[in-house]
Structure formats: C-alpha cells, structure tokens
Chain A
C-alpha cells in the first residue's frame, strides 16, 4: 500500500499532496515539513530510500523519493510495495514514479513546476489514474494517457468557453490592477421591444 504521495519543490512548498490515510491538516503540513527536511539535506548521488518510519508510522514504511529539477516526488510506502517498482531504475522497463512523471510530461507537454502549480487539479486527475486508494491501478502509460485525455472537459474548445478564454487572456496581460470593482452585474440592458415581423 502507498500511504502518501507528496510533491514539493526545493523550498518545501507543497505542489501536490495525496494522503491515503487520514491526517488532520496541521499534521499533514508537519509531515510535509519533516519529509522535506529529511529529503532536502540528502545529496543527489545517494540512494533514494529513506526510513521515515516515525513520520507516518511504523517501521514497515519507507520513503521513496526522486528529485527532478526543482521538484521532489515522494512516495511513502509499506513493505508490500516493491522498492524498485516504485522507483525508476535504468534497468527497469517500468516503474511507478517513472510512469507518473512521464505521464505528466505527456499530458502537459514538457512538464515543469509551473504546470503543477497552476494545474494542481489536473495533476490529481492524472494521479488518480495511476494510483487509487493507495494501490497501484495502472502501470501502462498509454492506457493512462488515453484515459486522462478522454476525461478532459469537452467544453474546453466549445463556444461557451470562448468568453472565459478571452477574460483569462485579459487577466494574463498582467495589468497592474484589473479594475475589479466595476460591477457589471448592475448594468440593465434595455432590449427594445421589437415588433414581430
């Protein structure tokens, strides 16, 4: 079983947290902090396993992590998971972390931290196709990508989304301050009553 999946950056800011066992919010934050503390002080050329027993409980648990560019991907797993299966290794043709990261890469087209920052929900949806309730659901990357694609909101390209996109384009212009206080809601458009032809 996987007990938790955490993604945070080099400064310990969480980018995605997924606990498969309940912890209160403050406990979650503490776990993130401690895990970051443990993981961040390790060199890049040391092994990717950590006995993080005290964090989430039990000596049966291990932290398996990987450091990609600015992000740490941390899995907390118990002894029923294969260490190497979770981690990616050169010799291994599959691995969970590898699958996850590559799927992210495919879905976001060259994933970077910003993608994760702004699309946390999407990352969650992708993760849901890989791991469900702490158990590995699918390791076939093509299958995962296909399922994620199918479930993308259909309306995204539709007419209804056009104004929203326009607005977000405006927002993206980064004006010093978007005039938020204009209350469009109160405008009363008077439609002239046209006589039917």
Chain B
C-alpha cells in the first residue's frame, strides 16, 4: 500500500479498540450486538480522524467459544499499489473476535 504504514499502526489501533470494548469480559449474548457495533464504530472513528484521502470498511465478527469451527476469507479487486487490508484476530477464554479493515484510496 502507498506510504500508509498499515502493518503496525493500523493493527495497534484496532487491537486497542477491541481491548477497550471487550477486554476482560466473557461472552454475553445480550451484549454482543453492542460490542460489535462499538468496535467497528470506534475503529472507524480513529481511522477517519487521521484525515487521509481514503475510504474505509471495518468488519467485526465475534464468536462464542464452543468448539465450533469458524473460517473466514476475503478477496479484493482493487489497485494493489494504493489499497490494502489488515486483519486482527483476538481471543479470550470465552470468545473469538476477528476484525478486518479494508482501506481504499480515492482515485483523484
């Protein structure tokens, strides 16, 4: 991706958003709706604040740990010199959280 240091900067930003929302909590069916919404909104707000000419898509999935298998994949049709993505996988004792951020440059 363009000079954007997506690797670490973006990963840390999203990781901190996840920790801030669900760090230290157990899976709770009545709250998980609020958690996913908060994680995507806070991540997006942090990214937009940077004021770069970019479009963002943030996707968050939270799954209860019960032995079930979960698999995710993504595929992108874009300009590989200017666009990119980053996926953060987080877990605690009771749940998995996977957040994907896609960054697309504005064609000027």
Q: Are A and B interaction partners? A: no
A residues lining the B interface (CB < 8 Å) = none
